[in-house]
Structure 1
């Protein structure tokens, strides 16, 4: 047995602490860390299931060039020589890195240093551009630096929490549970939820403002004007600590001249807007939480500043229970920002456009060259790859072919790029398929370093697993390439703590209090002190103590030392609905999955809650478009399309659609929603407008449908096909509009393509247009296939999946297999609601009806559902309703 390892979860920006233990049998257990300040013993369903994803079935284990295994020396010297050749012929701007909020800070630091100080270009950007860039720019405009002023503690001490564009119940579940507990402990706490969709988070709200998509800045301009007109200005704070108030209020009044005008423009009831404004004005302790619903917009920076303006006017910042609080998307998006991971930044919160800052960093690094300005931001970067301006790109720990807007153009750009290098821990992603050079990277549990969460808490992430195959940590790979390029002296790293010390030293270098980010007290840490580093919020004082919240002294990091109001001229989204494309498409996460499924997609438990990609649509819109709940829809923008299941919901606004962003080509044949998102970005932040595309929707007319359960993972079967991990097997749901003349031939080609000695049985009913087949190896069920004409009845999946738990299938089950009914009828638990305890919707409904359960607490006592991570509590409440 190993000693427990204290580390952090690798998923969202909450940065939950976890402890990992291994028992005598070698099995790992992951538990929440009760002492970590981010989660205080809570953990969501994804974190709870971390142990299930440690042994990935498709690890990338060895370096490859053009599909052939090579040594690390060959790989790194090839990269170095190709970079040098391209730089010599085309200049440093022809080389780029595209990195990830999944990297550790130490990885980020070395990548940024190599690109900006030794290759000499600004072309390093990150997938954090897709989630946090607008918040970064808004904070920087207002405060002079990329500074999140709040702490998670402020959620518990607030009297009003305003959630804007944040489905925290699913996207930041642990923080949502902290808010739930705070409201339970303090019934006076009010919650306002501002979101076009009524989401699971809305269950906590006293008021849900389902505003028209894209009108957030109008709402907050209206609030600013109302606060100024109704005596809620903190005159002492505004005069002593801010500048630009008059211009911001004047501009707000032009776009929001009255509460009535705000309500009309935002599509909201007047009474709800009045209640929101009154609550904000009359409550001293207000935290405004904002996330991707604000950031992922062509005017995301202005929206962020519009809400920050309201805190500046009222002086609600720098004290417990108040402030504008950005919930970060990825686990180390903030750590990447600290070391200059964005193309328009330098390390240590220095400004790449400032020649003095560039000289400071160049001197500290002893760099031979220095980027002379900002590099290409994510969307522009891949457009430059497509035009041939960028000849070589190194992608680290991310999957841009799925996650970027206009994703088919991204795929085409990489397909014709001269040199594509991908570092990843898995062997198959949509992006990795296009790589000339593939580099095996370490994953969570194997690598060593630090991360920074949404409230500036830096935490250690130490290894507890050995490196598989020849995989290396990203900083090790980058260091080897730097050595091969001739920069060994400036990249002397042998361990992660050496990089961290340099990062800390740079934060303090020539920093006489002009920069807030300062962890210089850690620049002389020993390896043992680094390993023992406690979770701490930056900036640090000279004694190494952290800072809970910022701006308590009313001083900011602008040139004047005053916070800046920003006059915001509210702009609506770029795309406009037309008769041909009458729907607004919104994208986001589901509760139990993460990004493009490379980790969560291999967990049966996490795949059970939302098994297939879907479109959420209002029932009346579904009726008008000829769509059926549970049917398949085709959504298109005139050039690209996706196929997803239909889910009707009155929580969805009419005229709007919602599609999750997780499904890639590895798990679906046609559900990558990025292909429908235009490459429209905020002009300041470069962040894409992922919440607002205009599309059309129509039924997909399948002629036949079916599902396959197989121990083998296979490729997609048809134009509609979803791959779902289940216990001991993979499940494939598929349908096709193409006629099938011979289902038996289709089945044999699919299932009987390898060795002899395969037991094969099948059943065909031409009258009922059904076909069933099963394949055995010895006495063990290897796969089973069920097909019917479109609209036909297919058997329940759960009991069939259960048959794959047997090494030898019992005779009774074997006899009933092709009948599609179990020999002994069992209860269908239905769709999984509680992933922690595997409790299904039908089980919950039955218990509510038969046992008179009337609260989520009573459901928990009866079924355990909702008693662990709490992520399912909104759904339990909905079932009670």
Structure 2
């Protein structure tokens, strides 16, 4: 493989999930999957296929800003350095902090970590990766002695049984899930889903265990006890390669003396538990995939170790088609872990507990003020900020005001911060509103460096677009501040290649047993670095080829070479439901969105899946709360309140509700579940509990609802409820309020301002109000309609009309005031296939016309023929068309 395919297309890596797909980028801009990248072989998901639509400069931060005023780089950087220096001199090095992001490249992360821990002398650098993978890191370290992912993607191809625990891979890692379903079709691989929610993944698996939230430890302790009971342990492997088994088994047997106890505690049918246990026991090649449903828990580390214990006890690790496999959430969460981006780590997988680690990093960096104890983890860091213990904070490429739990407390802390710096590529975020200094960061397609994916594969991100305005890479900003703080000699980098070489050299420096070692890449020339092909660590000195699968010899990077089985017990969640808060709030991702939607939320076809934040509610719970489909509900906890549109769903058990994580105040005030989520954290990893918050539901009383289409990006502060969605030609704003419909009309018109070119219809008796605003040439600028709650017509025809840039004719004007299309309208329904814009009604019609499988649907409509992330949903439509809500996949019950 070479660095370039043609002069116009550059090989780079997708900036979304931890799959690490290779993509081709060009200056047009265009993007496509890279067929030569081993992570995806040319496939991309809906988000990846839309990358070229996210490269607009609208809403970009392009110049340094101080207190809302544009300034130059010299002035901004001088101020940042001066305020950090003053805080350090007055209050000590632990009074300052960095909060970084899995969106940073490894080189950015390395410089930030080195500056904070090596030369400022405190370990107060943490990252939003704390919110997604910290429990996995802690579980790896406890079991293996190091943060090691032993598997590779080829293991997904070679496994006979894959267990997905707390992983909606069909939506969150769709390219990897497609790999699993391909393996099932090719060689009969069986898939098990363990999840409280019947997600797209669960609906497409061979066996689904709808477990009670938080009972994963009990289920896997039960599996370990069952394996011991039937003699299915690998005693030779336990004797040769592990320690701690007797105590671990005793803990498991106390928790789970029999299958009936497990089933009762997990809320499962005994037959389902028996089927799962029998399949694991009878299958040698087992991969257990786990993700945020395991990690995002107040007992996430114990859940990780409960899974790893079962693999160690049966020797199902270090060989093809087997092992525990953490699917990473962010594109470079792994790279951040390699350089010590978490507050309890040092660079190159070193830690704070061993003097040799401290000496090694101190000597390599020549950093006499190296931090010698862990810093503040994410939730702790923002608590300290609110308490005044942190005086200066630099937030890099993330939005903690929206993504952290107990958001009101986080926002208050940001507002009270003595000095807040935010470096980002986006001008308006919930966090940026509190900043004293805004620094314009280079975005994907403009910056260069490396990222590491879930299988330890290091890939290049390459720039294929020029830096816009005064945007600069994060490593450059950090280096400039380091020099102003007096550390110029240690930060004399001129390029990402300089930083990468140092990072690689440190990984091999006095390395006696750590598996993370890429010192074989430490002598790359600039040209070698530019042309670097994807490679999996370790890459020790003297090599350039990587290592796909680890732990193949049953030796671990611990002092005695043995893995540790860790005794864990099932524990209750930190906060239980009560009469005041009887429901459990679960949060997660949608198929077509990424994090807080700063990229994907600007793409109309990606927003078609869900235009507003919503809350999925079981019909019984909705009825008890007085809610119907489409109502707006408040979700209230002891920590705050969120808001969403109600979707009735029996994919959850009664007592549970689900909200997607993506909305922020920029798109929909109170749409972020972080406003309600509890801040309790895992005692070992510091990862917050984002999957289990006791809440109550209540209807939001409404007097009117409205739809506003505008060419402008607005912020309807005078409206009780609003949600902004990009559409072709502008933005759609869904509005609602508690007053009379006429009041809603006046508020919306006040938002629009000038009434030149306005045509109105007002019917006070029926509460119907409509207004179209045109420019001098008769082109539509804004359109507004107000009606009683639930009475707005389907707006699809309006979006089509609004996308036109031509003048309105008389018939169009009559249609707008009548809020009715002048011609026949075919309802699209909810968009199922975002790649081709195929809605549910077209799919149902094709099934009615004879399509009986996904291949037939693809032939008729093209849905499912690109990325494949809609295939689970297509199968559900087919099943419903065959007479049931869902066709049961083949269930392998014990014979």
After superposition, give the CA deviation of every residue in 1:278-299 in whole Å (9 maximum; x if it has no partner).
Answer: 1001100000000000000000
Quote how far apart the aligned CAs of 1:573 are. Answer: 1.0
- What residue is the counterpart of 1:846 in the other structure? 845
1:178 matched to 2:179? The reply is: yes
Displacement of 1:760 in angstroms is 0.6
Aligned partners of 1:803 and 1:15: how far apart in 2?
Answer: 37
Aligned counterparts of 2:359 and 2:81: Cα–Cα separation in 1: 26
Where does structure 2 lack aligned partners over 5 or more consecutive residues?
A: 1-5, 881-895
Partner of residue 60, structure 1: 61
Q: Go from structure 1 to structure 2 and tell me whether the alpha carbon gap of 1:826 and 1:739 turns closer, same or farther (over 3 Å shift).
A: closer
Does the CA contact (< 8 Å) of 2:737 and 2:744 recur in 1?
no
| CA–CA separation in structure 2 for the residues paired with 1:243 and 1:747 | 67
Runs of 4+ in 1 over 6 A off after TM superposition: none
> Per-residue deviation at 1:743?
4.7
State the 1:804 CA deviation.
Answer: 2.9
Alignment of 1:64-79 (within 5 A): 64-79=65-80
1:67-216 matched pairs, under 5 angstroms = 67-187=68-188, 189-216=189-216
Residue equivalent to 1:696: 696
Aligned twin of 2:35? 34
Aligned to 1:4: 9
The one of 853, 868, 871 aligned to 1:870: 868
Q: Which residue of 2 aligns with 1:830?
A: 829
| Contact 1:670 1:719 survives alignment (8 Å) | no
TM-score by length of 2: 0.96
Structure-1 residue corresponding to 2:784: 785
Per-residue deviation at 1:179?
0.5
1:527 equivalent in alignment to 2:526: yes
TM-superposed deviation, 1:574: 0.8
CA apart distance, 1:747: 4.0
SS in 2 for 1:277: helix
Which residue of 2 is the match for residue 723 of structure 1?
Answer: 724
Cα distance in 1 between the residues matched to 2:383 and 2:170: 35
- Equivalent in 14, 22, 25 of residue 17 of structure 1: 22
Are 2:170 and 2:869, in contact at CA under 8 Å, matched by a contact in 1? yes
Are the equivalent residues in 1 in contact too, given 2:317–2:324 (CA < 8 A)? yes
2:3 equivalent in structure 1:
none
Most deviating of 742-751 and 622-631: 742-751
Instruction: Provide Cα deviations, 1:787-811, integer angstroms capped at 9, x if missing partner.
Output: 0122324342343443332332233
Q: Distance in 2 between matches of 1:800 and 1:483?
A: 52
Q: Alpha-carbon deviation of 1:709?
A: 0.7
Q: C-alpha displacement at 1:560, in angstroms? A: 1.1
Per-residue Cα deviation, 1:127-151 (whole angstroms, up to 9, x for no partner): 0000000000000100000000000
2:267 corresponds to 1:262? no
Hey, what does 1:640 align to over in structure 2? 640
Corresponding residue of 1:855? 853
Distance 2:11 2:87 in 1: 44
Question: Is the CA contact (8 Å cut-off) linking 2:745 and 2:769 kept in structure 1?
Answer: yes
Listed one character per residue, the Cα deviations across residues 176-224 of structure 1 (whole Å, up to 9, x for unaligned) are 100110101012x211100000110013311100011100000000000
Structure 2: how far apart are the matches of 1:103 and 1:145? 23
Q: CA deviation at 1:814?
A: 2.3
Say if 2:596 is the partner of 1:591: no
**Residue of structure 2 in register with 1:816 after alignment:** 815
2:198–2:210 Cα contact (<8 Å) kept: yes
Q: Check whether the contact 1:289–1:324 (CA below 8 A) recurs between aligned residues.
A: yes
Q: What do residues 630-676 of structure 1 show as CA deviations (whole Å, max 9, x unaligned)?
A: 11111101452222111111111110000001000000022111011
Q: Secondary structure, in 3 states, of the residue corresponding to 1:298?
A: coil
Q: Where do 5+ consecutive residues of structure 1 fail to align?
A: none
Which residue number corresponds to residue 303 of structure 1? 303
Kindly state the Cα deviation for residue 822 of structure 1 after the two structures are TM-superposed: 1.6
Once the two structures are TM-superposed, the CA of residue 718 in structure 1 deviates from its matched residue by 2.1
Cα gap change, 1:694 to 1:247, in 2 (>3 Å): same
Maintained 8 Å contact 1:168/1:176: yes
Instruction: Report Cα offsets for 1:405-457 as digits up to 9, x if no partner.
Output: 10110000010110100000011000000000110000000001000000000
Per-residue deviation, 1:773: 0.3
What corresponds to 2:883 in structure 1?
none
Shift of 1:781: 0.4
Q: Once structures 1 and 2 are overlaid, which stretch shifts more, 794-803 or 809-818?
A: 794-803
Question: Paired residue for 2:292?
Answer: 292
Asked if the contact 2:741–2:768 (Cα under 8 Å) also holds between the matched residues in 1, the reply is: no
1:246 maps to 2:246: yes
CA pair 99-786 structure 1, distance change in 2 beyond 3 A: same
| Alignment partners' CA distance in 1, 2:430 and 2:876 | 37
Following TM superposition, by how much is the alpha carbon of 1:820 offset from its aligned partner in structure 2, in angstroms? 1.1
Are 2:482 and 2:488, in contact at CA under 8 Å, matched by a contact in 1?
A: yes
The alignment status of 1:673 with 2:673, answered yes or no, reads: yes
Alignment of 1:271-420 (within 5 A): 271-420=271-420
The farther-off stretch of 135-144 and 202-211 is 202-211
Query: Residues of 1 paired with 2:314 and 2:612: CA distance?
Result: 46
Q: Distance in 1 between matches of 2:448 and 2:490?
A: 21
Distance change in 2, residues 1:138/1:743 (3 Å): closer
TM-superposed deviation, 1:744: 4.7
Deviation of 1:37 (Å): 1.0
SS in 1 for 2:647: strand
Secondary structure of the corresponding residue to residue 8 of structure 2: strand
Q: Does 1:771 align with 2:772?
A: no
Alpha carbons of 1:879 and 1:547: their partners in 2 closer, same or farther (altered >3 Å)? same
Whether 1:481 aligns to 2:481 is yes
Q: Contact 2:406–2:640 (CA<8 Å) still a contact in 1?
A: no
Q: Is the 8 A contact 1:726 1:801 kept in 2?
A: no
The match for 1:625 is: 625
Q: State the alpha-carbon separation in 2 of the partners of residues 437 and 497 from structure 1.
A: 28
**735-744 or 865-874: which moved more?**
735-744
1:709 and 1:801 in contact (8 A); partners too = no
Partner secondary structure for residue 423 of structure 2: strand
| Equivalent-residue separation in structure 2 for 1:370 and 1:742 (angstroms) | 61
8 Å Cα contact 1:101/1:126 also seen in 2: yes
Name 2:888's counterpart in structure 1: none
Return 258-267 or 347-356, whichever deviates more: 347-356
* Residues 95, 391 of structure 1: 8 Å contact kept: yes
CA distance in 1, matches of 2:846, 2:706: 31
Secondary structure in 1 matching 2:479: helix
Greater CA drift, 66-75 or 274-283: 66-75
So what's the TM-score if we normalise by structure 1? 0.98
Measure, in 2, the Cα distance between the counterparts of 1:369 and 1:798.
Answer: 65
Q: CA deviation at 1:2?
A: 4.7
Count of equivalent residues: 871
Could you tell me whether the CA contact under 8 Å between 1:56 and 1:602 is conserved in 2?
A: no
